Amino acid sequence: MAHRHLAAVAIALVTSLALAAAQPSWTPGEKPIVDRLRQLRSVPESQRGAVTRRLALAIRSLPAADNKVRLADGLANLSTEGDFGAKTLRDVAATLSAALAEQPQPDVQGAPAAPYITLAQLARYEQIPVTLDSPSYRAALAKLEEEDRRRATAEIRLPDLNGKEWTLGALRGKVAIVNFWATWCPPCRKELPDLEALYQRFAGKDLVVLAISDEDAGKVTQFLAASKITFPVLLDHGRKVSESFAVEGIPKSFVYDRAGRLAATAIDMRTRHQFLAMLAKAGLKE
């Protein structure tokens, strides 16, 4: 979820609200919600779940409209940037489901519109119940299933910043976190210290972290010079690996077990606790 590689609906709102190329005109009832969404990342972590739930209810009370879907979709994308609890995600999913039921969205070039994908991600990867009965929603679920099948067999063959080539196949016998990120992505930057802490914590238990960016080497090198990241950072010029992993938004993380099987998927920023749960699914525990 997080930052998509798509045109933003309203840059002032956040790139998470990408739904259409045209900038919407917000009504007086919608504008305060837009303003609060803009500020959501600045809300303290301890309060963000409650604030997100209030926003979900505020959006749900709006009259049916495309803008209601835009706001519900934008909130859903922001709601997975960390661990704000299942109740928060249930409220967010219920709001997005209701908005789509009221105002179904047309397919985009034969594929389900972005809000259906967002809702399907909440169901598949966050285990949130969704009751929407819609062909577009079912198509979105099928799309995610196909993407996971691709990721289960996807390969990596990329150099790191020191020129060493890495492949996923060569990591059999180890647990691997494959993380897609960028220097310009706030949630990506926020989770990097936790990834580094886990990399150090499980250094003697065969954990490998591969962070993949499609940016220029100079920009990545400059960013890392001011950080304490020691795990390998790979460069995906041309985004061939990103495309093979069906990565349309970042951050995204995939955990592979020692047999090379895809064990866990994260569609957005994860906390250290959430990463530990993903690693446990791959058989790596303290």
Whole-angstrom Cα distance, residue 183 to residue 141? 30
Alpha carbon of 100 to those of 10, 113, 160, 272: distances in Å? Answer: 20, 10, 43, 33
Mention every residue, 6+ apart, whose C-beta is less than 8 A from residue 204. Answer: none
Q: What class is the 157-281 domain?
A: alpha beta
Q: Given pLDDT bands bounded at 50, 70 and 90, which one contains residue 21?
A: very low
pLDDT at res. 286: 75
Mention every residue, 6+ apart, whose C-beta is less than 8 A from residue 1. Answer: 16, 76, 77, 80, 118, 121, 249, 267, 268
Give yes or no for a contact between 132 and 102, defined as CB atoms under 8 angstroms apart.
no
The token pair at 152 is 């289960």
> Can you give the pTM of this predicted structure?
0.89
Q: Before 32, cis peptide (omega within 30)?
A: no
Q: Where are the domains of the chain?
A: 3-149, 157-281
Q: Above 50 in pLDDT, residue 131?
A: yes
Give yes or no for a contact between 221 and 212, defined as CB atoms under 8 angstroms apart.
no
Q: Above 50 in pLDDT, residue 111?
A: yes
What is the rounded average pLDDT for all residues in the chain? Answer: 92
pLDDT digit string, tens, across residues 49-58? 999 999 999 9
Mean pLDDT of 169-186: 97
The token pair at 253 is 């993380």
Name the 3-class secondary structure at 267. Answer: coil
Amino acid 199 reads: Y
The residue assigned the tokens 């895809």 is 262
Mean pLDDT of 268-284: 96
pLDDT at res. 199: 97
Q: Above 90 in pLDDT, residue 82?
A: yes
Q: Which of 263, 267, 268, 258 is nearest to 278 (CA)?
A: 263
Q: Given pLDDT bands bounded at 50, 70 and 90, which one contains residue 10?
A: very low
pLDDT at res. 23: 73
Beta bridge partners of 2: none
Q: Above 60 in pLDDT, residue 16?
A: no
Beta bridge partners of 234: 160, 212
Mention every residue, 6+ apart, whose C-beta is less than 8 A from residue 150. Answer: 244, 245, 246
pLDDT at res. 2: 54
